[in-house]
Amino acid sequence: MALTVVNMPSHDLALTGCIYVHPSDARAAYTSLGNFVYRCAPHPEVQPGHVALNAIQRRLERAVAGDEVQIRDFLVPMREFEIRALPVQAEWVKLGAALPPQDLTALANAFRANFTGHVLTSGQKVCMDYGGNAVLFTVRGEVRGLVTMSTEVHVEFTM
């Protein structure tokens, strides 16, 4: 399905890792866009025929607001699609942010809680709020699958 790219309806939604479409365009819980799979959620503020992407998703797709992109329904395989171990590289989004967190285990747990139910792939970038700071994560290693509460997340922090 071809949809026109728009910005996210709010800053908070931009940190969910989901893409948003008008409820009449929502056909599947997951969609593939380029090389990546995203949770696809309906949102009434997104106009029909449009897809709301955050800045990171637009950058990965080399798209700007007003461009047309192709999204396809993605069905999560029923077996052996869970990520067992997920290495991610983390960095603060804003320059001059605080030093790396003292407790990377807490950051890994927050990542897992925030992205459980998401399908992630090597090279994919996702962003979330952590202690009032936006953290950008890049998926490392050869992985593709569903993040679950049993996924072991390994965080490496870069500055």
pLDDT digits (tens, 9 = 90+) for 34-83: 999 999 999 999 999 999 999 999 999 999 999 999 999 999 998 889 99
Distance of alpha carbon 94 from alpha carbon 112, whole angstroms: 22
- Is the pLDDT score of 100 beyond 70? no
- Topology given in CATH for the domain delimited by 85-157: Vcp-like ATPase; Chain A, domain 2 (3.10.330)
**Alpha-carbon torsion angle 77, 148, 18, 21, nearest 10:** 40
The whole model's pTM is what? 0.87
Average pLDDT over residues 105-134: 92
Residue ranges of the domains in the chain?
Answer: 2-73, 85-157
2-73 — its CATH code? Answer: 2.40.40.20
CA separation, residue 42 to residues 19, 92, 115 (Å): 9, 29, 18
Q: Which band of pLDDT confidence, cut at 50, 70 and 90, is reported for residue 120?
A: very high
